[in-house]
Chains A and B, each alone.
Chain A
Amino acid sequence: MNCDWLKENLSAYVDGEMNFITRWRIKRHLKECLECSKELRQLEKIHKLSKLAILVSPESHFYDRLKAKLPKVETIEHKKNRVFENIWIALPQGGKAAILVGIALILFLSVIYPRLSSTSLNIDRFEKEYLLSQETLTCVGEPATSLILTSE
């Protein structure tokens, strides 16, 4: 490790941004190099002073002036669509109850009621089956009598 490299990266060392091995090598170098040790002490003093400076509040209008000096950046505002939420809040209690009952009724009629109620069938289906038996299970049956069922 040479002194030039260390002087360039000393600030990172003070901030604790180095990994374990690099820190160990820097410490070893600082024990042997007086110039670098001196540099480290100066830097540590500056760090202490800067921490004290942060604790003091900036003077008034500091942030306004800072904002004026900064370049303008376009910001996108994410507005939440709260139309339904607003309508729901605006609704009277009776209206809310009516909507809930309506939803429950639709669910009942479309999902639950068909399972509860009996199935609906047409007699044609049974008649066709009957004719098929009449045709195939008797000895003088005629083929294709099922067409007799075709409605007029």
Chain B
Amino acid sequence: MNLNKFWKVFLFLIILSLILVSSPSLAQNGKDILRLSFDAQSQIDFEGIRKIQTYTSDKIHSFVAKVIYQKPNFIYVEYLDPPYLKGRIIIDNGEKRIEYLPGIDKKIKILPSFNCSWIKEKRKKALKITLANFNISKIPEEKILGREVYTLSLSPKNSIGPFLKLWIDKKTYLILRKEKYNSERELILSLYYTKVNFNKHFSKKELYNKLPRIPSISKKFPLPSSYTLQEIKARANFFLSFPGYLPPGYTFQEGEIMAKRKIVKLVYTNGLEVIVLFQRPSAKIAMGPHKWMNFDNLGIRFREGPYGKTLVWNRKKKTFVLMGEVPLEELVKIAQSIK
């Protein structure tokens, strides 16, 4: 091989490796696919009909919504079903988010945008925790609504769930389907699109013109301050209790002080799920239909909703609310370990 030919081959190999590295469509690693899907919805023009179903022990909750994503950072969601949610609208323009029911809600609250830097940072942190806590593997590829998709399986490195299956569009990295299973491998949530339309560009102005009048804003949602464990201990104006036990994989994420320093919220996450512990000086909490449980002289009220499980109890002149999508036994173990 003469020197000229060697350089040609060398240059070809360099270019080829650069193409392989830079082209996301050729990404093979499950972690890389998950990373790319993380920001996908802010990088596409998309319209679709999304269906979310949550499964509890005695009921299936279904929610159907029309979803519009427009790059960068615009999200529009309009609920079509169930009837009691029909017509509800969510508009997130990258700076703020509003939720309202046209003609009914006279005043609305402003929430932080799903795509604001404050939330993005938190989600990035959660992605790191997910990558550390879950084995991510690719399973045979499929087609969804005629589009080629990567299929990923996320299984926890410990015995506690959830297990997650994701169907990610090969071209845009948008999650087209998601299924979540509990530790017993029972389906607890499924999300999928019944209709998709990519690259549909629409005028935001036209959309706003079509919308019913947006109600006046009653209250600006202040960005909550999140604190570390040490900071929250110093800032709370009552003695805090902490769980001595957490399910494997869960770590403290942040603390918040709410309701004029009367409620402290502690958030623990494994990247895919959160466990939230609220505590405050003794209070009566109206809960609707619930069950009573008794563990070692600890009377606990319990209920299961479409979003997870809730435990409420009182101890030592304080009221605790514990919420999470983990097995009930795990939540009870956490409750019992709180000192």
Contact = CB atoms under 8 A, between A and B. Distances in A.
B61 interface: yes
A126 B323 contact: yes
A119 B283 contact: yes
Interface string A124-138: 001101111111111
Contacts of B119: 136
Q: Tell me the interface secondary structure of chain B in the complex.
A: strand
Given A138-B123, A139-B38, A147-B79, A131 B307 contact: yes
B274 A127 contact: no
Interface in B75-94: 75, 77, 79, 82, 84-85, 88, 90, 92
B287 interface: yes
A15 B237 CA distance: 80
Given A126-B323, A138-B130, A138-B273, 8 more contacts: A119-B284, A120-B285, A126-B276, A138-B271, A138-B272, A139-B34, A144-B99, A149-B305
B321 A126 contact: yes
Interface of A: 118-123, 126-127, 129-152
B123 A147 contact: no
B122 A137 contact: yes
B47 to A, nearest CB: 15
Nearest to B267: A133
Interface of B: 34, 37-38, 52, 54, 61, 63, 75, 77, 79, 82, 84-85, 88, 90, 92, 97, 99, 111, 114, 119, 122-127, 130, 164, 166, 175, 178, 191, 253-254, 258, 262, 265, 267, 269, 271-274, 276, 278, 281-288, 305-308, 310, 312, 319, 321, 323, 325
A127 B272 contact: no
B12 to A, nearest CB: 38
A138 B269 contact: yes
Please indicate which of the listed interface residues B37, B267, B282, B310 has the most CB atoms of chain A within 10 Å of its own CB: B267
B323 A140 contact: no
B149 to A, nearest CB: 15
Contact of B114 (A139, A143, A149): A143
B178 A121 contact: no
B288 A123 contact: yes
Nearest to A143: B114
B24 to A, nearest CB: 18
B273 A134 contact: yes
Contacts of B130: 138-139
B285 A121 contact: yes
Contacts of B111: 132
Contacts of B325: 134
Given A118-B283, A121-B283, A121-B285, A140 B310 contact: no
Contacts of B124: 139
A118 B284 contact: yes
A144 B88 CA distance: 11
A139 to B, nearest CB: 4
Given A123-B312, A135-B114, A138-B126, A130 B284 contact: no
Contacts of B276: 126, 129-130, 133
Nearest to B312: A123
A136 B122 contact: yes
Given A120-B284, A129-B276, A133-B274, A143 B312 contact: no
